[in-house]
Structure 1
Amino acid sequence: MAGDRQGWLRCLLGGAVFVVGMAGTTLPTPLYPLYQAEFGFSELIVTVVYAVYAFGVIGVLLLAGDASDTVGRRPALLWGLGFAVASAVCFLCADGLGWLYAGRLLSGLSAGLFTGAATAYVMDLAPPGGASRATLVATAANMGGLGCGPLLAGLLAEYAPEPLLLPFAVHLALALLSAVVVLRLPETVRERRPLSAVRPRWPALPAPVRPVFVPAALASFVGFALFGVFTSVSPAFLARFLHVDNHAVTGLVVALAFFSSTAGQFAVGRVGVPRSLPLGCAVLFAGLALLAGALATDLLALVVLAAVVGGTGQGLTFRAALSAVAGAAPEDRRAAVISTLFLVAYTGISLPVIGVGLLTGPLGLERAGLVFTGCMLLLVACAGAYLLRRPVRTGAR
């Protein structure tokens, strides 16, 4: 009994470190309008600064996606926290765009290491028989951390001094504290190898996975694209068209999307993977439609609903997609297949975001957003129609 309590304490401490690591990746979201005013750049530059993060994540997934399996969980997390500290220092020193690019790239490197290593570590630290609950802890820490970032930054920017400095100083302190926690937790990888043993993990798609992968990847792409555009462009939309100048409100609206995603992921356990994928596509379709309505009518209520509904749809589709793809993959290719799904998802965070930025110049922010939602509605409708005709039958749960 005492062993179980100690195991769950360690599991929760690992989850807390996960929250801190992921919060840093979304911390700048409500601050982009302030950076625009400070440095005088356009929405296109905002989207590029945001997308640089995704390129960092993709680079780590390709080159060192299995680093924690090789060198150990603690070294991988300490490297991730080191990148998070370096990212915070870049933002603290920022006096031009170069610092923002560097900070976002380092943040992406941190997230790339944390995504796999922290998830595995939280599950490793749980006591025997606690795998299911540990998965929920990891899921909540991942998306909850992403939601805490804009919420924390928005509150500090609105109600505390130095809005472009204090959020990153606080995160720097939390990251250093997290490093101390990691050093006090046990290593869970028994057979560790040197860093030189880490090898690139190239995308892989065995034939049995392809029928499941195509609709799962489409839904994941759309869900992450919605998150990407929502977190990069919505602060400017709220400020310019809805006259929401309160940074805490902006941070809360963005955070709602991530918190709703957590709820959607939890729901997959009850709904089941085969039903969650088409249901998630339908909910994601509704969220995108609400976002289009918000862009067309300038109603704050629709923006909030789009965050909640779209976030729930993203959570349903992504956890179900991950489970379905993992269940269909041969055991010896599973890690490579999952990495491929993450690559598609993070491509969704980057390329559509930059596309919206490019269209903002000739079309304006609202029309560019409507073009984006139209394209994503078409993609998610295709994925949903495919799933209705050919339901997932992988046995994944």
Structure 2
Amino acid sequence: MVALPVAAPPRAGNPWLAAWPVTAVFVLSNAPTPLYVLWQHRLGFSAGTLTVIFAAYIAGLLAALLVAGRASDRLGRKPVVLPGVLLALVACVLFATATSVLALGIARLLAGIAVGVTVSAGMAAVVDVGGPTRIRAATLAASTAMVFGAGLGPLLAGALSETLPGPTLTIFVVAGVLLLSAAVVVLRLPLRRPLERGAGGWVRVPAVPRAQRRYVALGIAVFAPGLTATSFVLSPGPALLAGVLGTGNRLLAGATAFVMFGAATAVQFAARRLGVRVVLLTGAASALACAAGLLVAVQARWVPAIVVTAVLAGAAQGLGQLGGLTMIGTHVPEQRRAEANALLNFGGYVPAALLPVGAGYLSDFLGIATGATTFAVVLAAASMTAGALVRRHAR
């Protein structure tokens, strides 16, 4: 009788250290945000073109989600996460040397691929390193690493571009150093390869077994409006900020993004002991309040309302992300965890790509106020729908 191979239990590690590659990749993901005003002035492109450049990032991310989660569950985390970090390094070089809209678009595309790998395989690696007894702590580490990096990137870019020579170069040198250190961390993570490689094709829309679909769907319902709100702040949002304040200060733009993602980080620590149903309901309420704040900011042209809107957008994304990842960590088995993460982000990033792009082009034709108002109405409807679904189906 032949004995079947038995997987050795993975050696437990520090999930906060394992989350460092997530932070490093997300520093790069939003670092270009305060620099777009410089590139727009230098290259002469419109607000609509800006949202297309932003959408190239999401296109790369979605393409990666079609492959990365499934590949990670079949091949292991390291063989997928490490190439993602290396692609982020290539994107750094392209951003630092960009002299055309095409170069910016390709850099954003590669950054999006790196992020797609990170939110599926990278976050699953953090939870795996934490082990079955530390799922909630590891989920918190993965989720907060993402939003902290997303906020730190634009803050550093704004500060460095205002105070040092080479405003579109220095931040990407810094980001490159962070990514090199992240590659070292990935190589040293205590992770094992899966014994079963699975069957079927490598490219497909992410999916989970029927028994776990409800949990992922509820996470998407709340995560999508929050992520869409933060995407708006990062793409057409600076034009709204400049229209109200009459300034293109890059440090101010970076600080606004940092405050938004700082709120996304802080709210997750505050909610870490709450039940997942409460977390999701609070996330839906935050997105609804964000829509209301955006309407006030546009109609009253009131600066504090813009800041409040950014904070509420960050809270909505953070809570939706934490709730969705907790659902996955608790209910989805390890061998499907990365693909479930990919599905959560696929469902979140599709509207996060389409709605801000639509608002950007609507703003080109009818003005930023009309574009932002339309976006706020759609966001409010999505948030109320999410809250109703959680109240009905989450336990």
- Long gaps (5+) in structure 2: 1-10
- The match for 1:292 among 290, 295, 307 is 295
Alpha-carbon offset, residue 157 of structure 1:
1.1
Q: Which residue of 2 aligns with 1:50?
A: 54
Query: Bigger CA drift: 378-387 or 326-335?
Result: 326-335
Q: Which residue of 1 aligns with 2:101?
A: 97
RMSD of equivalent CA atoms: 2.9
Report whether the alignment pairs 1:307 with 2:310: yes
Alpha-carbon offset, residue 276 of structure 1:
2.3
- Distance, in Å, in 2 between the alignment partners of 1:47 and 1:57 is 15
Percent sequence identity over aligned pairs = 33
Q: How does 1:195-344 map to 2 (within 5 A)?
A: 199-204=202-207, 216-324=219-327, 336-344=339-347
- Distance, in Å, in 1 between the alignment partners of 2:136 and 2:243 is 44
Tell me the SS of whatever aligns to 1:200: coil
Residue pair 1:295, 1:370 contacting (<8 A) in 2 also: yes
* Alpha-carbon distance change, 192 to 37 in structure 1, aligned in 2, over 3 angstroms: farther
Q: Which residue of 1 aligns with 2:146?
A: 142
Residue pair 2:287, 2:316 contacting (<8 A) in 1 also: yes
Deviations 1:66-99 (A, max 9, x none): 3333333333232112111110111122111000
* Alpha-carbon distance change, 321 to 177 in structure 1, aligned in 2, over 3 angstroms: closer
Report whether the alignment pairs 1:72 with 2:76: yes
Amino acid at match of 2:394: V
Report whether the alignment pairs 1:158 with 2:162: yes
Residue pair 2:297, 2:306 contacting (<8 A) in 1 also: yes
* Alpha-carbon distance change, 204 to 148 in structure 1, aligned in 2, over 3 angstroms: same
Deviations 1:265-318 (A, max 9, x none): 334432211222222211211122112211222222111111112211222233
* Alpha-carbon distance change, 182 to 219 in structure 1, aligned in 2, over 3 angstroms: closer
Q: Which residue of 2 aligns with 1:392?
A: 394
- Long gaps (5+) in structure 1: 1-5
- Distance, in Å, in 2 between the alignment partners of 1:215 and 1:191 is 28
* Alpha-carbon distance change, 192 to 36 in structure 1, aligned in 2, over 3 angstroms: farther
* Alpha-carbon distance change, 337 to 66 in structure 1, aligned in 2, over 3 angstroms: closer
Alpha-carbon offset, residue 198 of structure 1:
7.8
- Distance, in Å, in 2 between the alignment partners of 1:328 and 1:125 is 17
Q: Which residue of 1 aligns with 2:3?
A: none
- Distance, in Å, in 1 between the alignment partners of 2:185 and 2:328 is 34
Residue pair 1:329, 1:337 contacting (<8 A) in 2 also: yes
Query: Bigger CA drift: 66-75 or 44-53?
Result: 66-75
Alpha-carbon offset, residue 363 of structure 1:
1.1
Alpha-carbon offset, residue 53 of structure 1:
0.8
Query: Bigger CA drift: 240-249 or 78-87?
Result: 240-249
- Distance, in Å, in 2 between the alignment partners of 1:97 and 1:326 is 40
Residue pair 1:242, 1:299 contacting (<8 A) in 2 also: no
Q: Which residue of 2 aligns with 1:30?
A: 34
With normalisation by structure 2, the TM-score equals: 0.87
Amino acid at match of 1:320: G
Alpha-carbon offset, residue 331 of structure 1:
8.5
- The match for 1:20 among 24, 28, 35 is 24
Q: Which residue of 2 aligns with 1:349?
A: 352
Residue pair 2:27, 2:151 contacting (<8 A) in 1 also: yes
Residue pair 2:226, 2:317 contacting (<8 A) in 1 also: yes
- Distance, in Å, in 2 between the alignment partners of 1:102 and 1:223 is 26
Alpha-carbon offset, residue 231 of structure 1:
0.8
Deviations 1:125-157 (A, max 9, x none): 447844433332222211111111111111111
Amino acid at match of 1:109: I
Deviations 1:17-60 (A, max 9, x none): 32111111111011111111111111101111011111111111
- The match for 2:182 among 168, 178, 183 is 178
